[in-house]
Chains A and B, each alone.
Chain A
Amino acid sequence: MRQILRMALHEYTRHVLRRRFVIALLMPLFMIVFISAILTVIITLVDQSDRGAIAYVDPVGALSQASAPADALNTFVRVGSIDEARAMLRDGTAIAAYALAPDFGATRSAELIFWERRPSRDVERAFERFAATSLLADQPPEIRQRIIEAPSFTFESSDGTRVTDEIGLIAGFVIPIVLGILFIVALFSGAQYLMQAVIEEKENRTMEVIVTSISPLQLMSGKVLGLAGVGLTQVVTWTSALLIALSLASQRLPFLKAVRVEPGFIAVALLMFVLEYLLFAALMGAIGSLVTSAKDGQNLSGPLVLLAMTPEFFIPVFFIAPNGPIAVGLSLFPLSAPLALLLRYAAAPVPIWQVLLAMALLAASVVGALWLASRVFRIGMLEYGRRVSLKTVWEGLRG
């Protein structure tokens, strides 16, 4: 065990101290900070441009009883003529103007006038609410308020574990999907590195020296563990950065407050990811033992990558039937389990027994894959400089 840990530490430090790893680690952080900053600036600017006075021309006094709702972000200014409204638009004292038709009371027809930039839908909605207060003036205040304020829906899962509002429902997809992308990036880049390392070390005979010191199983376990540590470092760093960015950005962007961050979910996701990483790294290590070039390795690893990515191709199925047979099947199949569980979690609560079963299957696959990788590595050692046929592998495994 000491040798495995020594090798794991060696692989970990050797990899994380490389310049290309540091760059790969920091690049998404810069991206997160950059995108958050840009989004915050854009949304703030859009917000500010939507605030301000809305002028209206009301020739027959159709909105004489109108009053601005308590939560309105705009003020409403009645002007005498369209020219006056245009003057306000021109000098910037109004952001939009409405010219009500003389028969507004019957037709609800009004003309929107703006200068240079069409106001956002929020501005239009604000004026519609303002107009509604006048039309509902004869209603009791509580009725008037309920009609003017948009209906608020609360969504509750059938098992009662998840209660959310409309924004929360959409925002709930954010963390699982973003985490899924981060996991996939870390997984593929790390596993690819392991395969490359095995090919190189086999070719330059470092392996020969190592295998006369430790067993193939110790070698593979050490390499895979070290690389899993590297992957975990990447994902923990990126997830932390994402959560910090989310927390900072939500101070400026209130809708982000609806994004759910559940520590239990993050912990389960990380654990699943580590197991997946171990599984993938062991399989890539096995492939690296069989081939003589990275290109050959990529050809063999292609199907594995596709299997891990399968849930991406079924995204609509996850949202339509998150507990249907395809979604459940993919979340129990070890290679696709982490991503499938993330997508299912985004759509609906996942029964705990399925999470535990997926974890157990994945953990068992890791043990099997490590055994397989060490056996395949041993077979690959016998065939220096030559690509090993699958028939040879099969015979070797049976022998």
Chain B
Amino acid sequence: MDSVISVSGLRKSFGAAEAVKDVSFEVHKGEIFGLLGPNGAGKTTTIRIILDLFKPDAGHAHILGGPMTEAKKPRIGYLPEERGLYRDLKLEDCLVYLAELKGVPRDVARKRALAYFERFDLVEHRRKKVNDLSKGMQQKAQLIATLLHQPDVLIIDEPFSGLDPVNTRLAQELLIEERRRGTTLIMSTHQMHQVEEMCDRIVLIHQGRSVLYGGVDEIRRSHAENAVRLVARGDIPALPGVTDGGLKGNTRTLRLAPGLSPQTVLQQLAGTPGLLIESFELALPTMDDIFVSVVGGNGSTAKAAD
């Protein structure tokens, strides 16, 4: 698999504070990669090292086949966590200018910006100063600024912060479209449901170290206990090796004894007279559960997949 970003043994200190102690991961071409971690974990520092804003004390961060160079800059889009737009400029002028710095001709940039404005419902605000826009509008504008030059790699830090559900959905669709176009995305976020919905793989950084790394599905499976979730009408019989894990809404969790397969339990339940099974699934933990268990517990001992 082609590696678009390769980070290995990264270390960076600011004075006495060690922001990044040991971070390693690879981002493959065309995937959406989640860069996760609690506040202060070292995610933004890692991003800044990848972009060559910071020099690492040790290790390396390669992008598009090597260290960051000037020639690669037009191929990369970056959305910082804090807004990076000229506040005293009109929205359209600001975005077109930033695209021009990435090498996009002005008329092309203007045309593309207009298309995004229409999509994000910003047409009537395009002549307003950035400063006069709401936080959500500024976030949409920042996202557009990141996409206008059609980069090969998108590095986005908290892309959905400040967006309402409708605009979050819109931004999500836009990023998925970008992936379809062949763009590689590295996304730092705290919103774990977004990670589940969008990311192919993730790295979880905790206290400056990568503590969990791999495909989202693999990680969820590897953190799953032997349990199933069931939605059914009728009485659930007591089965050998099965204990009741409780009811949440209309979903009941059944914990299975070691060695007892979900398949066996399903067959037994299916043969129970008067029981109508509406849904039966493996009880995979959510990314949110995994995040909390890894970061809340002893992160350094968490299992790293892949």
Q: Which residues of A contact B (CB under 8 A)?
A: 3, 6-7, 10, 14, 204-215, 381-383
**A86 CA to B236 CA in the complex, in Å?**
133
Contact of A14 with B100 at beta-carbon distance under 8 Å, contacts A214-B73, A381-B53 already known: no
Residues of B within 8 Å of A7, CB to CB, are: 101
The contact size tier of chain B is 20 to 34
Q: A206 and B53: CB pair below 8 A?
A: no
Residues of A within 8 Å of B170, CB to CB, are: none
Report B16 CB to chain A, min CB distance, Å: 13
Q: A204 and B101: CB pair below 8 A?
A: no
Residues of A within 8 Å of B86, CB to CB, are: 14, 206
Q: B78 and A209: CB pair below 8 A?
A: yes
**A303 CA to B74 CA in the complex, in Å?**
39
The 4 A-B pairs at the shortest CB distance, nearest first, are namely: A209-B84, A213-B101, A205-B84, A212-B78
Interface residue? B70 (CB, 8 A)? yes
Residues of B within 8 Å of A382, CB to CB, are: 53-55
Interface residue? B97 (CB, 8 A)? yes
Interface of A is mostly: helix
Report B135 CB to chain A, min CB distance, Å: 14
Residues of A within 8 Å of B76, CB to CB, are: 212
Contact of A204 among B48, B51, B54, B84 (CB under 8 A): B84
Report A214 CB to chain B, min CB distance, Å: 6
Considering only residues 58-107 of chain B, those with a C-beta below 8 Å from chain A are 70, 73-74, 76, 78, 80, 82-89, 97-98, 100-103
Q: A206 and B85: CB pair below 8 A?
A: yes
The 29 sampled A-B contact pairs (Cβ below 8 Å) are: A3-B101, A3-B103, A6-B100, A10-B97, A14-B86, A14-B89, A204-B83, A204-B84, A205-B80, A205-B83, A206-B86, A207-B84, A208-B48, A208-B53, A208-B78, A208-B80, A208-B84, A209-B78, A209-B85, A209-B98, A209-B145, A210-B101, A212-B53, A212-B73, A213-B73, A213-B101, A214-B73, A381-B54, A382-B53
Residues of A within 8 Å of B82, CB to CB, are: 204-205
Report B158 CB to chain A, min CB distance, Å: 13
Report A322 CB to chain B, min CB distance, Å: 46
**A342 CA to B76 CA in the complex, in Å?**
49
**A284 CA to B239 CA in the complex, in Å?**
78
Residues of B within 8 Å of A215, CB to CB, are: 70
**A204 CA to B84 CA in the complex, in Å?**
6
Contact of A6 with B101 at beta-carbon distance under 8 Å, contacts A211-B53, A212-B51, A382-B54 already known: yes
Residues of B within 8 Å of A211, CB to CB, are: 53
**A207 CA to B51 CA in the complex, in Å?**
13
Residues of A within 8 Å of B53, CB to CB, are: 208, 211-212, 381-382
Report B129 CB to chain A, min CB distance, Å: 12
Residues of A within 8 Å of B98, CB to CB, are: 209-210, 213
**A208 CA to B146 CA in the complex, in Å?**
12
Q: Which residue of B lies closest to A7 (CB)?
A: B101
Interface of B is mostly: loop
Q: B80 and A209: CB pair below 8 A?
A: yes
Q: Which residue of A lies closest to B155 (CB)?
A: A212
Residues of B within 8 Å of A209, CB to CB, are: 78, 80, 84-85, 98, 145
**A209 CA to B87 CA in the complex, in Å?**
13
**A204 CA to B80 CA in the complex, in Å?**
11
**A208 CA to B70 CA in the complex, in Å?**
14
**A214 CA to B103 CA in the complex, in Å?**
10
**A14 CA to B90 CA in the complex, in Å?**
11
**A213 CA to B95 CA in the complex, in Å?**
13
**A215 CA to B98 CA in the complex, in Å?**
14
Q: A213 and B84: CB pair below 8 A?
A: no
Residues of A within 8 Å of B84, CB to CB, are: 204-210
Residues of B within 8 Å of A14, CB to CB, are: 86, 88-89
Task: Given contact pairs A6-B97, A213-B74, A382-B55, enumerate 16 new A-B contacts (beta carbons under 8 Å).
Answer: A3-B101, A6-B101, A7-B101, A14-B86, A14-B88, A204-B82, A204-B87, A205-B84, A208-B78, A208-B84, A210-B98, A210-B101, A212-B51, A213-B101, A213-B102, A383-B14
**A26 CA to B87 CA in the complex, in Å?**
26
Residues of B within 8 Å of A214, CB to CB, are: 70, 73, 101
**A3 CA to B105 CA in the complex, in Å?**
11
Report A194 CB to chain B, min CB distance, Å: 15
**A54 CA to B301 CA in the complex, in Å?**
111
Q: Which residue of B lies closest to A215 (CB)?
A: B70
Report B33 CB to chain A, min CB distance, Å: 18
**A385 CA to B34 CA in the complex, in Å?**
27
Residues of A within 8 Å of B103, CB to CB, are: 3
Q: Which residue of A lies closest to B102 (CB)?
A: A213
Report A310 CB to chain B, min CB distance, Å: 36
Considering only residues 132-152 of chain B, those with a C-beta below 8 Å from chain A are 145
Q: Contact string, B8-33, partner A, CB cutoff 8 A, digits 1/0?
A: 00000010000000000000000000
Tell me which of A205, A208, A210 has the highest count of chain B C-beta atoms within 10 A of its own C-beta: A208
**A10 CA to B73 CA in the complex, in Å?**
20
Residues of A within 8 Å of B70, CB to CB, are: 214-215
Report B143 CB to chain A, min CB distance, Å: 12
Report A386 CB to chain B, min CB distance, Å: 8
Residues of A within 8 Å of B100, CB to CB, are: 6
Report B142 CB to chain A, min CB distance, Å: 9
Residues of B within 8 Å of A212, CB to CB, are: 51, 53, 73, 76, 78
Tell me which of A14, A213, A215 has the highest count of chain B C-beta atoms within 10 A of its own C-beta: A213
Report B113 CB to chain A, min CB distance, Å: 16
Q: Which residue of B lies closest to A213 (CB)?
A: B101
Q: Which residue of B lies closest to A396 (CB)?
A: B55
**A130 CA to B101 CA in the complex, in Å?**
77
**A381 CA to B45 CA in the complex, in Å?**
12
Report B245 CB to chain A, min CB distance, Å: 46
**A383 CA to B102 CA in the complex, in Å?**
25
Residues of A within 8 Å of B14, CB to CB, are: 383
Report A202 CB to chain B, min CB distance, Å: 11
Q: Contact string, B274-290, partner A, CB cutoff 8 A, digits 1/0?
A: 00000000000000000
Residues of B within 8 Å of A3, CB to CB, are: 101, 103
